[in-house]
Amino acid sequence: MNEKKNIDSKSEEKLPPGGHTSSLLFLAIGVIFFVQSLQLYQKDPSPSGSGTFPMIISGLLIVLTVIDFLQKLKKKTEVSGLPAGEKLSVTLKYLFPKDSLVFLLMSIAFYLTLEFGVSFMIASPIFLLISMCYLIPHSFVKNLIYTVVSCAAIYVIFTMLFKVSLP
């Protein structure tokens, strides 16, 4: 009897604000990435082509997001029943807390840096080091070591394994 009560209470759990919206956002991102990687793949349609891995990952993102959305569709959110303006405000504050907003702005800065011609091999370690120092303050030496190891691994994997020249 007690187990049935626990099962019923789990089915009545509400999603956090933006529970449905986040799935749709990830679906849109997945579709955009899939289209972009498909265009890359069409330029070099081989298993080691530059679009193969991104296409697989973005395809998985789309499939898993659709499954997640269908599961969430049955549940109500914590903001169900609130006026639209209040619902939007609560949802945006939940979806974009301070740390997420900082990373969004850093990502935009990284993108613009690449767009203005700074080399990937220069911009990426700087972005990674700044990101890690933001996430794990007071560990600069460790963050520097992680950055060097990560960037070296990325370089080796893409240039030697996938035979992709990094910009």
Q: Do 88 and 110 have their domain in common?
A: no
pLDDT in tens, 71-106: 888 888 778 778 888 888 888 888 788 888 899 999
Q: Do 103 and 32 have their domain in common?
A: no
Q: Do 90 and 17 have their domain in common?
A: yes
Q: Do 100 and 76 have their domain in common?
A: no
30-44, 73-87, 129-143, 149-163: range with lowest mean pLDDT: 73-87
Residue 21 burial by Cβ neighbours in a 10 Å radius (0-12, 13-18, 19+): middle
Q: Do 79 and 150 have their domain in common?
A: no
Q: Do 29 and 54 have their domain in common?
A: yes
Domain that holds residue 81: 1-95
Per-residue pLDDT, 3: 53
Please identify, among 37, 64, 95, the residue that sits at the C-terminal boundary of a domain: 95
Q: Do 152 and 85 have their domain in common?
A: no
Percent of the chain with pLDDT over 70: 93
Q: Read off the pTM.
A: 0.52
Q: Do 104 and 167 have their domain in common?
A: yes
Place of tokens 């939940």: 94
Please identify, among 64, 95, 126, the residue that sits at the C-terminal boundary of a domain: 95
What's the CA gap between 140 and 124, in Å, rounded? 17
Q: Do 30 and 77 have their domain in common?
A: yes
Q: Do 79 and 109 have their domain in common?
A: no
Per-residue pLDDT, 163: 87
Please identify, among 95, 112, 144, the residue that sits at the C-terminal boundary of a domain: 95
Per-residue pLDDT, 14: 80
Per-residue pLDDT, 11: 52
Q: Do 91 and 109 have their domain in common?
A: no
Q: Give, in order, the Cα–Cα distances in Å from 76 to each of 14, 73, 91.
A: 5, 8, 14
Once rounded to an integer, what is the mean pLDDT over residues 41-67?
88
**Structural domains in the chain (count):** 2
Per-residue pLDDT, 10: 52
15, β-bridge pairs? 77
